[in-house]
Structure 1
Amino acid sequence: MAEIKPFRAWRYNEILGENIDELTSPLFDVVSEKYREKLYKNEFNSIHISVPKEGPDGELLERRIEDWKSKDVIIQDKTPAIYVYYQYFKLPRDSKEYCRKGFICNIRLYDWEDNVLLRHEDTMPHSVDDRKKLLEHTQMHVSPTHGLYTDPEKSIETYMDNAIHSPIYDCEDYQGVRDVLGVIHDYEVIQEIMTLLKDKQVILADGHHRYQGALAYLHQQRHNNSNHTGDEPCNFHTMYLTNTESDDLRIFPTHRLIRKIKKFNPEQFLEKLSEYFHIRSLDNDEDVNEVISGKKWAFGLMMGDEVYKIRLRQEKYYEIEWEVPEVLKQLDITILHYFIMEKVLGIKKEKQPSSKKIRFERSMSTCIKKAISGSVQAAIVTQEIPMQTVKDVCFSGYTLPQKSTYFYPKVICGYLFGSIKPEDNNAKIDRSF
């Protein structure tokens, strides 16, 4: 199954690392344009190599990487290691402090049909090409993707807890999350972690475009090199791995915003919905989450300052004509996209992923604001997808509908970078640790 190994990370030099919070950045697909421009003002911020202003395939990017190396802006660790990464966070109206525990390593790149690395969503070609070009010109995995393994016994957690007591970095990021990075050099512990993953499948939680881009680059290298052995560094990918059995693994819902529907009429929309859904008016938009929580095929609906709970009529479920397996048909998101998007609004299944009439929004407060302001015609509030559902879908060989999950918190960029250059990957683990 999954083959992992330690690696020698490139990291900011000791002086710059003292202010690591000024050098970290959000992942390429979540950073806003406004925040990106702010980060560009720091010449050494990691945004310059993760989302370069000049684009992912320029000579300027290659020169920047070499310049950072030659001036010791970034320095490679001398010994291969596994890096422990803990993220501490709180949720609104919840006093508990959560901690998502995991570790960063190199993992072999697997094609989807190998059934070792399982994806849970599809990718968009232009974003895959963008990430492939970035890897080609930086020769680095500039931010780790996020994978999930299953270990009910939590057999390596004690080792990770010990490592995190002496952190390399400890700072608060743009999400308000405390990110702590430790390191494991111990040969025996590393071997135990590697052995744990040998019989595991890994679910890709976040970073589908980065992983697919690395896979495309690997295929290109195989094609160009008749002597390809499979041991070259480009056969591996830097990944953050967390345990599906952790109590602090959070998956947020992604809500849907409806806009640009011609001749949209709220009363007629409700009338069409009533053919498929039970509809109940609510007094307060802040009650939506509690009212729909845990109820199958139930959603919140906001139009202007009107708020509703809608729930599919049980008998209507059997009218679904999409040819999808039962494990997907049962999903709330499938119900939403079949009955609301296609049957009521007339947006066909094949058009939905690229439709400008549908937008995705994680923030509940943003949904409320946009609905009340009229900047969207309707906001549809969804529920969290349980981790077990993600596992069931992935292990069945299928993928979830687009934007079904939002794993929180996001991994940050800037703590470490993983090189795919041969000369950066020839050191052995020091058995003296």
Structure 2
Amino acid sequence: MADISPLRALHYDLDRTGGLERVAAPPYDVIDPEQRERLLALSPYNVVAIDLPRADPGGDPYAQAAATLRAWRDGGVVVTDPEPALWALEQDYTGPDGARRTRRGVFARVRVEDYGRGRIRPHERTHPGPKEDRLRLTRATRANLSPIFSLYDGDAWSPLAPHLGRAPFGELTDDDGTTHRLWRVGDRDAIAAAQEALEPAELLIADGHHRYETARAYAQEVGGDGAHRHTLMCLVSLGDPGLTIFPTHRLLTDLDDARRIALREAIRRDWEIEEVGDEELEPPQDGRIRIGYLDAHHDRPLRLTLKDPAIASAALPGKPAAYRRLDTAVTEALLLQGALAMSEDDISHLRGLEYARSTADARHRIRSGDAQAGLFMGPAPVALVREVAAAGEVMPPKSTYFFPKVLTGMLFNPL
């Protein structure tokens, strides 16, 4: 089981910053230079100053981040919580499907361990390794500046809910229209009850694999026991009604004539083919393996339905039944690895393969010539993700797209 505990967080003094809205930011890896400058224009204390540091020519950006954080702490802009606490997060959002929902999560400190069933696992197949950039930043600042988003089976929210009747510690609405509300819960009985609910939980890393690998590398580098053996996570229950999973579509590039023919023959052999409209490329959930298909040559949106579940069983020998019901797993086995002879390494390093998170973007990239064809996935049901995890399996890359993101700058974990 994972080791989960409350944390003595570092956080902004919101009276000094004018609230969270001016200082929080999206995860560093989705921020371009222009957005970074816009965020810093909101406040010189915006978290990008330390999480995405820049230095003058010849300077060290990581030393700059450490000096900036130290100055903020010395000046009382960032303060240390006097006692350990759990932090409750509500996110009111409109998903890519247009529906309005509320997702709930708990910020906690989690002990860094090697991957293993029953403890902490990636929920998708990934080969990130620690990022040197993130490792150098962790060494310099001696803090987790950005949380890892993880899933668990259980309910740690209910023990905290009675303590959320007061105004939140902080609240903001981001550029996507998502409203984030954060409460500190220091009540010992509530913390103990939440820990008890989390005690048997296996954690599935949904977003932040690089950050977790970096935390592991840092813990091993420092050695011994201590705060450096823990990392900051936002834990969301697989049973949370606001947890939704959206699809990521596959774009095929560098298709020569031989691979086009192989793909066409595999589709005709294993799939029923139906012509549909543009808006129907993303298939609905109905229990069958169904995907959308569009290529630049014919420009005819198609829906492909697997002719027989036995085809998936034969293509995925030894895999549990839940895994064989994943459209991403069947597509990978039959079309990417089967028809197009892609290796796992090809898929991991995006050789001949790219991804798009929206149907409209995928269609545009195909029709503009950026990609030769697209395979359109449906959203993976949360119940199926749960089944796959319970069977001890790891899903193919980009099987899920979790929205909204957990922002950076709401809390930091000192190491």
- The alignment's TM-score, normalised by the length of structure 2, stands at 0.88
Confirm or deny: 8 A CA contact 1:85 1:103 kept in the other structure: yes
Confirm or deny: 8 A CA contact 2:106 2:235 kept in the other structure: yes
Find the counterpart in structure 2 of residue 18 from structure 1. Answer: 18
Unaligned runs of 5+ in 2: none
Q: Does the C-alpha gap of structure 1 residues 139 and 387 become closer, same or farther in structure 2, counting only changes over 3 Å? A: same
Q: Does the C-alpha gap of structure 1 residues 278 and 45 become closer, same or farther in structure 2, counting only changes over 3 Å? A: same
AA paired with 1:256? Answer: R
Deviation (angstroms), 1:370: 1.6
Find the counterpart in structure 1 of residue 292 from structure 2. Answer: 300
Give the one of 271, 281, 285 matched to 1:288.
Answer: 281
Q: Does the C-alpha gap of structure 1 residues 186 and 158 become closer, same or farther in structure 2, counting only changes over 3 Å? A: closer
CA distance in 2, matches of 1:32, 1:266: 35
Of the structure 1 ranges 208-217 and 387-396, higher mean CA displacement relative to structure 2 is found in: 387-396
Deviation (angstroms), 1:207: 1.6
Specify the SS of the correspondent of 2:160.
helix
Deviation (angstroms), 1:261: 2.1
Pairs aligned (count): 408
Q: Does 1:249 align with 2:252?
A: no
Of the structure 1 ranges 25-34 and 380-389, higher mean CA displacement relative to structure 2 is found in: 25-34
C-alpha distance after superposition, 1:320-342 (max 9, x if no partner): 27775555344211211122223
Q: Does the C-alpha gap of structure 1 residues 123 and 16 become closer, same or farther in structure 2, counting only changes over 3 Å? A: farther
Of the structure 1 ranges 407-416 and 344-353, higher mean CA displacement relative to structure 2 is found in: 344-353
Find the counterpart in structure 2 of residue 63 from structure 1. Answer: 67
Deviation (angstroms), 1:68: 2.1
C-alpha distance after superposition, 1:14-37 (max 9, x if no partner): 334424222211113333454345
Q: Does the C-alpha gap of structure 1 residues 338 and 265 become closer, same or farther in structure 2, counting only changes over 3 Å? A: closer
Deviation (angstroms), 1:89: 0.9
CA distance in 2, matches of 1:123, 1:144: 18
Find the counterpart in structure 1 of residue 91 from structure 2. Answer: 87
AA paired with 2:391? Answer: S
Specify the SS of the correspondent of 1:375.
coil
Unaligned runs of 5+ in 1: 223-227, 421-433
Confirm or deny: 8 A CA contact 2:19 2:171 kept in the other structure: no
CA distance in 1, matches of 2:24, 2:273: 45
C-alpha distance after superposition, 1:137-191 (max 9, x if no partner): 211111221222322xx47426325326411111112332110011112122222
**Cα-Cα RMSD:** 2.8
Q: Does 1:260 align with 2:254?
A: yes
Give the one of 153, 156, 168 matched to 1:150.
Answer: 153
CA distance in 2, matches of 1:330, 1:164: 42
C-alpha distance after superposition, 1:241-291 (max 9, x if no partner): 122211111111111111222348978854552122222111x211223x5
CA distance in 1, matches of 2:287, 2:35: 37
Find the counterpart in structure 2 of residue 428 from structure 1. Answer: none
AA paired with 1:407? Answer: F
CA distance in 2, matches of 1:34, 1:379: 30
Confirm or deny: 8 A CA contact 1:132 1:213 kept in the other structure: yes
Q: What percent identity do the matched residue pairs reach?
A: 25
Specify the SS of the correspondent of 2:281.
helix
Find the counterpart in structure 2 of residue 431 from structure 1. Answer: none
CA distance in 2, matches of 1:306, 1:170: 46
Find the counterpart in structure 1 of residue 143 from structure 2. Answer: 140
Give the one of 211, 214, 236 matched to 2:230.
Answer: 236
Q: Does the C-alpha gap of structure 1 residues 277 and 93 become closer, same or farther in structure 2, counting only changes over 3 Å? A: closer
Specify the SS of the correspondent of 1:351.
helix
C-alpha distance after superposition, 1:360-415 (max 9, x if no partner): 11122211222232322112110112223323333333311111112221100011
Confirm or deny: 8 A CA contact 1:146 1:239 kept in the other structure: yes
